[in-house]
A = this chain, B = another copy of it.
């Protein structure tokens, strides 16, 4: 009950703050972000003292070295976090854009105006730098933000949020523009997800269990950031060198992220020649291969089960399937994939264009690695996540994804007849 009241209060404060943020000039917002960047640099020692508490707790809890590494706020990472805010300050402000305007025959001037969503709730389990990133993107796009980070980074998150909030307040932004939930009580997430009166959208960033829970419980619209079960399909006429380079890059350049290839599809015509060569390079890179029956006849690998086609390994594991046709490849991707990022390697104009058209994914590629699906790589200048939702925003999501269009109508006394 106390928790519920506390969350209600946070929601109300955010809603009030969002009403001033909506009309805040770009100058104020940018100056606030630049000031916050400087504050993070100036308070490096404080950040590292708080971060040490999380690292200490993580060690006692037996977190893996990889997780402890993700958690650590090194000098370099603090500098990068501050630079991130400077970059966001320099991006164009999406708020106030008029995307279309026309005069109705009755004289009404009708326009669509880009506006902040209002209050954005972010529930995340990621590295502590997400605290600064998310807060900055929401502020730049005129939204109030409520953050709920993972318990393993609680001290670091609170320290970053405190420094950020103080700095932007000094620059004239409301003290409730950014609020962070200070308790690690898991029930707080449940209470947050009931605040449909105050929060306009929930953006989850984290593991499958967290996201599944949010989908189940939320009464607030959620912009999905689900699995990346990404495919590379090597068509029969693919350039062999390009196919190998892209497949290896898509799997091994950074295996633990969502835009990494999890399944390789290869046309039966090219498989006998190409697959052994690609498999060799992947295996040498430390990758475990799991193949369909026909794959197992061509290379040395473990047999893949039905489950493999729907598994996001996030690791040096790859499932491989030999297909008899272009159509079989597209069907496989639309059926088993997560509609995130999928690529075809081909020299055929027709296959390329059909693939772009027929594959129902947020990002579809010809002759390039799926690893490019990313707000920075796509030139958005930033990223709050990669949406697998079809509604609102598909694919890499940055400032524009944190806004929507309202209609504004200038009249001269028109009434409806």
Place the interface of chain A in its size category: 35 or more
Contact check, B366 vs A411: say whether CB atoms are below 8 A apart.
yes
Q: What residues of chain B lie closer than 8 Å to A250, measured between beta carbons?
A: 415
A357-389 vs B, CB cutoff 8 Å, 1 = contact: the mask equals 110111111111101110001110000000001
Instruction: Assess whether A356 is in contact with B221, with CB atoms less than 8 Å apart.
Output: no
Cα distance, A110 to B118, chains bound together (Å): 29
Question: Is A390 in contact with chain B by the CB < 8 A criterion?
Answer: yes
Please state if B200 and A391 are interface contacts (CB–CB under 8 Å): yes
Task: Kindly state whether residue A395 has any CB partner on chain B within 8 Å.
Answer: yes
Give 1 or 0 for each of A156-189: 1 = CB within 8 Å of chain B CB. Answer: 0000000000000000000000000000000000
Among B245, B360, B415, contact of A22 (Cβ-Cβ < 8 Å): B360
Residue-wise interface mask of A (93-104) relative to B, using a CB-CB cutoff of 8 A (1 in contact, 0 not): 000000000101
Q: List A253-309 residues whose CB lies under 8 Å from chain B.
A: 253-254
* A350 located at the interface, meaning its Cβ lies under 8 Å from any Cβ of chain B in the complex: no
Q: How many of these chains are in the complex?
A: 2
Q: Is the CB of A364 within 8 A of B408?
A: yes
Stretch of A60-68, A317-325, A399-407 at the chain-chain interface: A399-407
CB-contact partner of A357 in B22, B254, B360, B414, under 8 A: B22
The answer to whether B409 and A371 touch across the interface, beta carbons within 8 angstroms, is: no
A355 closest partner in B (C-beta): B408
Per the 8 Å Cβ criterion, residues 195-227 of A in contact with B are: 200-201, 215, 219, 221-223
Asked if A151 CB lies within 8 Å of chain B CBs, one says no
Q: Does A153 contact B (CB under 8 A)?
A: no
Q: Which residues of B contact A108 (CB under 8 A)?
A: 368, 372
Asked if A249 is an interface residue, CB under 8 A from chain B, the answer is yes
B356-A416 in contact (CB<8A): no
Given contacts A246-B413, A364-B409, A372-B108, is CB(A392)–CB(B392) below 8 Å? Answer: yes
Most buried by B among A108, A379, A389, A391: A391
Top 4 closest pairs, chain A to chain B, by CB? A368-B411, A249-B415, A371-B416, A392-B392
Additional 12 contacts, C-beta under 8 A, given A364-B407, A372-B409, A391-B392:
A110-B378, A117-B391, A201-B390, A221-B221, A363-B408, A365-B408, A368-B411, A371-B415, A377-B416, A390-B404, A394-B405, A394-B406
Interface, chain A (partner B; CB < 8 A): 19, 22-23, 102, 104, 108, 110, 113, 115, 117-118, 200-201, 215, 219, 221-223, 239, 242, 245-246, 249-250, 253-254, 334, 352, 356-358, 360-369, 371-373, 377-379, 389-396, 404-416
